[in-house]
């Protein structure tokens, strides 16, 4: 099987919510969790290979080194098109990473369309908005790792790259373009806008592209051939959520879930390797006992992480590692546990903790919320994940309903039970 496209993503949740977009075309996507050791075999059974380079929190030089390694790997397995997945609110090293992709590709132009209309992210006159608010006036201006200081895409790119930036206010190909390499930034506010940009990409033979999951959903690729599916069902109709996100968006979602009956559980984040201590092991068992008893459970920081700012970057990574240990303890004892993980750092720490090398996105349950198949030494797991900044206030309640509708044992009389067939590589 020839891999049609390589996606290079700067964080794991973004890699998954972009990879899942290609399933509607019958394409198989495989998300490689760690870019440190790549081999040709990693692309087996995949039409689209997605490489998580985990570069959002790195400095420019380190990030570009990882992009270079990912592009060289993609070229070695025959990928002629590179999609640089960027954050929908433009955090990270987007300028340097796009410049590196363009330089290694030998192409003249890179098309960049960062809009994500399904998540209310819009590009207007070269600026990025969430609904009607410029991104530098939203909660992302206080991001502990990558605070957003401007909504201007040109200014953000210019901090990391000397490439010319051409702002394109509509979905037409400009008549006058620079002779040398350039980044073409397209405005977009609707799905139709993104579809027109995708058509331009095909018509003009562009092979270097950048954006988030929004544009990825519209890329014109030849359909793959599905060779069957696997029925996915959950053993019980309740859900365990593990969250390491610091976003106010996640905090609001957790509050809503608690109102709807989820049981909150905090933990001692100040104790190193807490979930390897006797107390931590007892807490893991308490979570599983509650799940077996029919509870929906949310595990997050006992110190109100979503509101914490002091020493937030190091603190949040410590929490991600702690929660990764918890996930390992839970899945070792209950491999088929319906588990949702919130936050890219927490998801990456969790998958590393269980020794998983790749994930296969199999369904977008809600916009930005992905069901994935993951194989580890503990067995095969079906994990739901999302970025901390995505989703409506009731997203956790909706995911619980999804689990209920696809469970072997309904939570109560009258709750629908069925098996969901996921079309993924066998």
* CATH code for the part of the protein at 230-422: 3.40.980.20
Quote the CA–CA distance of 250 and 343 in Å, as a whole number.
Answer: 9
Are 83 and 219 within 8 A, CB to CB? Answer: yes
What is the rounded CA–CA span in Å between residue 84 and residue 81?
10
Please count the helices (runs of H) and the strands (runs of E) in the chain: 11, 20
Question: So what's the pLDDT on residue 26?
Answer: 80
pLDDT in the model for residue 193: 97
Q: Specify the domain boundaries for CATH 3.40.50.10840 within the chain.
A: 5-216
Residue ranges, comma separated, of all CATH 3.40.980.20 domains in the chain are 230-422
- The H-or-E segment that residue 127 falls in is strand 127-130
Q: Which H or E run contains 110?
A: strand 109-113
- Phi/psi region, residue 127 (left: phi>0; alpha: psi -120 to 50; beta: rest), is beta
Give the HSE-up count for residue 86: Cα atoms under 13 Å, Cβ half-sphere: 30
Residues 21 and 47: beta-carbon distance below 8 Å? no
Surface-to-core class of residue 262, CB atoms within 10 Å of its CB (0-12 exposed, 13-18 middle, 19+ buried)? buried
φ, ψ of residue 44 to 5 degrees: the values are: -55, 135
Q: Residues 60, 96: contact at Cβ < 8 Å? A: yes
Question: CA dihedral defined by 408, 411, 416, 421, rounded to 10 degrees?
Answer: -40
Question: Do the beta carbons of residue 158 and residue 94 sit within 8 Å?
Answer: no
Query: What is the C-alpha to C-alpha distance for residues 420 and 406, in angstroms, rounded to an integer?
Result: 6
Give yes or no for a contact between 81 and 4, defined as CB atoms under 8 angstroms apart: yes
Task: Return the ∠ at Cα 94 (arms to 90 and 95), rounded to 5°.
Answer: 125
- Burial letters 83-97, b for 16+ CB under 10 A, else e: bbbbbbbbbbbbbbb
Radius of gyration of the chain (CA): 21
Q: Are strands 109-113 and 48-52 parallel, antiparallel or unpaired?
A: unpaired
Helix/strand/coil percentages in the chain, nearest 5: 35, 25, 40
Per-residue model confidence as pLDDT tens for the chain (426 residues): 566 799 999 999 999 999 999 987 788 899 998 877 777 667 777 889 999 999 998 999 999 999 999 999 999 998 989 999 999 999 999 999 999 999 999 999 999 999 999 999 999 999 999 999 999 999 999 888 889 999 999 999 999 999 999 999 999 999 889 988 999 999 999 999 999 999 999 999 999 999 999 999 999 765 554 444 456 788 888 999 999 988 889 999 999 999 999 999 988 777 888 888 999 999 999 999 999 999 999 998 744 433 333 344 445 668 889 999 999 999 999 999 999 999 989 999 999 999 998 899 999 999 989 999 998 888 899 999 999 989 999 999 999 999 998 886 555 444 443 333 333 332
Topology given in CATH for the domain delimited by 5-216: Rossmann fold (3.40.50)
Residue 210 to residue 112: CA distance in whole angstroms: 5
Q: What distance in Å separates the CA atoms of residue 239 and residue 133, rounded to the nearest whole number? A: 34
Choose among 84, 71, 69, 72: nearest CA to 36. 69
> Considering the entire predicted model, what is its pTM?
0.86
pLDDT the model gives residue 316? 61
Question: For residue 327, what pLDDT is reported?
Answer: 95
CB proximity list for 392: less than 8 A, separation 6 or greater? 253
Q: What is the pLDDT of residue 312?
A: 46
Measuring CA to CA, which residue among 240, 51, 57, 213 is closest to residue 121? 213
Q: What is the pLDDT of residue 17?
A: 93
- CA separation (Å) from 389 to 130, 247, 394? 11, 6, 13
In the DSSP assignment, the letter for residue 260 is T
Cα separations (Å) of 192 from 7, 32, 348? 22, 30, 33
| Rounded Cα–Cα distance for residues 332 and 319 (Å) | 20
């Amino acid at each position: 099987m020839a891999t049609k496209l390589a996606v290079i993503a700067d964080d794991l949740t973004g890699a998954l919510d972009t990879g899942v977009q290609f399933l509607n075309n019958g394409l198989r996507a495989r998300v490689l969790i760690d870019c440190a050791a790549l081999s040709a075999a990693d692309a087996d059974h995949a039409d689209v290979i997605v490489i998580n380079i985990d570069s959002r929190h790195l400095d420019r030089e380190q990030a570009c080194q990882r992009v270079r390694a990912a592009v060289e790997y993609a070229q070695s397995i025959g990928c002629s098109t590179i999609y640089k997945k960027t954050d929908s609110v433009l955090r990270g090293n987007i300028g340097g990473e796009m410049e590196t992709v363009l330089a290694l590709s030998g192409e003249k132009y890179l098309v960049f369309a960062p809009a994500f209309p399904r998540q209310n992210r819009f590009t207007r006159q070269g600026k990025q908005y969430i609904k009607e608010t410029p991104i530098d006036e939203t909660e992302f201006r206080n991001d502990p790792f990558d605070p957003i200081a401007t909504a201007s895409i040109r200014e953000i790119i210019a901090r990391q790259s000397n490439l010319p930036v051409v702002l394109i206010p509509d979905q037409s190909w400009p008549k006058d373009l620079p002779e040398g390499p350039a980044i073409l930034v397209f405005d977009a506010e609707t799905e139709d806008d993104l579809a027109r940009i995708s058509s331009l990409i095909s018509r003009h033979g562009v092979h270097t592209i950048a954006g988030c999951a929004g544009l990825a959903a519209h890329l014109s690729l030849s359909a793959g051939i599905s060779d069957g599916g696997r029925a996915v069902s959950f053993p019980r109709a309740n859900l365990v959520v593990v969250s390491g996100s610091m976003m106010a968006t996640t905090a609001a979602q957790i509050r809503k879930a608690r109102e709807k009956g989820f049981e909150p559980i905090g933990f001692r984040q100040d104790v190193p390797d807490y979930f390897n201590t006797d107390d931590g092991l007892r807490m893991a068992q308490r979570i599983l006992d509650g799940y077996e008893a029919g509870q929906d459970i949310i595990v997050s920081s006992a110190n109100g992480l979503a509101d914490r700012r002091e020493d937030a970057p190091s603190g949040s990574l410590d929490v991600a590692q702690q929660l990764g240990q918890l996930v390992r303890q839970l899945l070792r004892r209950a491999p088929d546990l319906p588990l949702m993980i919130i936050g890219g750092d927490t998801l990456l720490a969790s998958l590393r903790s269980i020794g998983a090398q790749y994930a296969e996105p199999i369904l977008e349950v809600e916009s930005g919320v992905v069901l994935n198949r993951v194989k580890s030494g503990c067995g095969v797991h079906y994990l739901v994940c999302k970025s901390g900044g995505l989703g409506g206030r009731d997203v956790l309640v909706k995911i619980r309903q999804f689990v209920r509708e696809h469970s072997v044992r309904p939570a109560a009389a009258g709750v629908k039970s069925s098996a969901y067939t996921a079309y993924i590589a066998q």
